[in-house]
Amino acid sequence: MPNHLSTLGIIHTAISIIAILVAFYALYREGKINPLSGPGKLYIWLTVLTCVTGFPIMKTGHLSGGHFIAILIVILLPLGIYAGRIFGKAAPYVQVIALSATLFLSLVPAVIETLTRLPISSPIAGGPAAPIVKTGLAILFALFIVGVIYQVFRLRRLQVSHRKVDL
């Protein structure tokens, strides 16, 4: 079976995979996607580039769910980046939730496209509504929730320990 990705689709996919890997590295290294760190900045730029390269890709000739996900990501990125200027004391929490949500949203099409395209000769799922895709997305959502809860508790613990040091 031939590759059904356009040249732009291949470029878009490569950039998105690198962005996701950088995000996981940032989470491993700092416990969050920090927009001020090298990996955080790289993730943000690659994610913006992923969204921009994804907009012209239209299998059906009109906007799809993937396009709306990209729009949500483009809204959440500045929210996470500039949370400190907008949300005061809640800023670290808003930042963690917003930037983690961008990674989660990036992984939604990754799961769907992977399961519906691979292996090329006989994809695992027949379409986006296949039970295995729904299960994969449910697991992804559960991991997102657990990850955000972990990050929020970690932030809270750090804030409490900083307050004790300040006293």
What are 2's two structure tokens?
Answer: 């031939």
> What pLDDT does 1 receive?
44
Residue 135: half-sphere exposure toward Cβ, Cα within 13 Å: 6
Residue-wise pLDDT tens digits, 36-86 = 999 999 999 999 999 999 999 877 778 888 999 999 999 999 999 999 999
pLDDT band at 162 (very low <50, low <70, confident <90, very high): low
> Taking 60 as the threshold, does the pLDDT of residue 91 lie above it?
yes
Confidence check: pLDDT of 3 > 90: no
Average pLDDT over residues 137-163: 92
62: tokens are: 């009109």
Q: Across the chain, what does the average pLDDT equal?
A: 92
Q: How far apart are the first and last CA of the chain?
A: 66
Domain residue spans in the chain?
A: 7-166
32 residue type, one letter: K
Q: HEC states along 123-163?
A: CCCCCCCCHHHHHHHHHHHHHHHHHHHHHHHHHHHHHHHHH
